[in-house]
């Protein structure tokens, strides 16, 4: 670059601003590459190192120039390597999403570039009155896969709730992938019960997961809406759980929902809720999720913690206990019991 051109560039833009934005672009490009490489099957195919010609055939690439362009992006990011014309996975993130425990990470990439990105992409139109998207039926399976990332943070909370309690009949509302029923069983093999979810694809995923964990005999997974309880929910439960779910119910629906839950619990039974709530201004995770739930038809803004505890008190629950699940993030576990004399 000529000195005159460099001086003109520096006068036009603050060089520190340019540097900051250039640094921001690379993580964005990396996420976009990962999305395309996951969605197209490129990373799955490259579990076996392959030449470009082999990749064209395996991926049925009708436009090989696009494949070559994506391979070049992967090389420039260090996510792929190529030696003697053979491509293979190199980058830590690409290795992570294709590893044994990679599916939830792959789902996080897919959700970030589609589900979450749409809230920013369409923000201006919605700000000016455009309706929210109703995509819950489309993204339920992806969000259920992604939710497995929460499992380590929820595991201790679930264990504290069920361990040493003997035989418990559990109802997991919005059971998702079934991972939390699995966590409960690991903490207390005497538990059994039912998981319910509105999304048929999620129900089928949970059933497959339970079969893979060899606990299908302990839990039944059903499709349905807890606001109109299916006949399979007969009898009472010792524990009813709601994880990452409360913001799927309108504020005005929640009192009736919690009264219904209380009626399904045995005397002295317990409700366990784990959810993000409105955090402080430095809590990026909760702020990001709040924009998402505020933008999606069928969801609401994240509640405040006090709203939930007040709702439990008004629904005649007692012994309300609040536990922070992740430091620095407004993710809480909340338990409460029915009155033993009710």
The SS3 call for residue 335 is: strand
Strand partners, 298: none
Output the pLDDT for position 287. 92
pLDDT at 208: 96
- Asked if residue 176 lies in contact with residue 202, where contact means CB atoms within 8 angstroms, the answer is yes
Position 281 scores a pLDDT of: 76
| Main-chain phi, psi angles of 240, to 5 degrees | -120, 130
pLDDT value of position 251: 93
Whether 74 contacts 37, CB under 8 Å: yes
User: Cβ contacts of residue 144 below 8 Å, gap of 6+?
Assistant: 176, 177, 199, 202, 205, 206
- Model confidence pLDDT, tens digit, residues 171-190: 999 998 899 999 999 999 99
Helices 103-111 and 15-39, axial angle in degrees (round to 10): 120
Q: Identify the pLDDT of residue 264.
A: 95
Q: In terms of DSSP H, where are the helices of the chain? A: 3-12, 15-39, 42-45, 52-58, 64-77, 92-98, 103-111, 117-121, 123-127, 136-146, 151-162, 179-187, 200-212, 254-264, 284-295, 305-314
Q: What is the pLDDT of residue 342?
A: 47
Residues paired with residue 338 on neighbouring β-strands, in sequence order:
317
Question: So what's the pLDDT on residue 139?
Answer: 77
Distance from C-alpha of 39 to C-alpha of 61, rounded to nearest angstrom: 13
For the chain, list the domains and their CATH numbers: 3-98 (1.10.10.10), 142-338 (3.40.50.150)
Residue stretches of the chain with pLDDT short of 50: 342
Note whether 148 and 212 are within 8 A (CB). Answer: no
């Amino acid at each position: 670059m000529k000195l005159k051109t460099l001086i003109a560039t520096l006068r036009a833009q603050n060089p520190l601003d340019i540097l900051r934005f250039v640094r921001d672009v690379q993580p964005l490009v990396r996420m976009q590459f990962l999305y395309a490489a996951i969605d197209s099957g490129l990373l799955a195919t490259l579990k076996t190192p392959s030449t470009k010609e082999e990749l064209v055939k395996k991926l049925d690439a009708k436009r090989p120039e696009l494949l070559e362009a994506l391979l070049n992006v992967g090389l420039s990011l260090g996510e792929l390597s190529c030696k003697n014309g053979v491509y293979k996975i190199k980058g830590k993130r690409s290795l992570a999403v294709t590893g044994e425990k990679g599916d939830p990470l792959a789902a996080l990439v897919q959700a970030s570039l589609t589900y979450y990105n749409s809230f920013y992409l369409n923000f201006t139109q919605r700000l000016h009155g455009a309706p929210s998207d109703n995509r819950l039926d489309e993204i339920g399976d992806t969000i259920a896969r992604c939710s497995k990332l929460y499992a380590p943070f929820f595991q201790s909370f679930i264990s504290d709730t069920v361990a040493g309690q003997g035989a418990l009949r559990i109802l997991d509302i919005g059971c998702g992938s079934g991972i939390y029923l699995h966590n409960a069983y690991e903490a207390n093999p005497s538990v059994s019960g039912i998981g319910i979810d509105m999304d048929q694809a999620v129900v089928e995923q949970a059933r497959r997961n339970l079969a893979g964990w060899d606990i299908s005999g302990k839990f039944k997974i059903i499709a349905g809406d807890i606001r109109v309880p299916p006949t399979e929910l007969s009898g009472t439960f010792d524990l009813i759980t709601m994880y990452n779910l409360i913001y799927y119910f309108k504020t005005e629906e929640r009192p009736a929902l919690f009264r219904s839950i209380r009626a399904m619990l045995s005397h002295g039974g317990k409700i366990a809720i784990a959810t993000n709530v409105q955090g402080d201004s430095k809590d990026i995770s909760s702020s990001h999720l709040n924009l998402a739930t505020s933008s999606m038809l069928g969801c609401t803004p994240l509640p405040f913690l006090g709203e939930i505890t007040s709702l439990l008190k008004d629904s005649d629950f007692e012994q309300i206990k609040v536990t922070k699940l992740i430091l620095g993030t407004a993710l809480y576990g909340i338990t409460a019991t029915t009155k033993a004399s009710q």
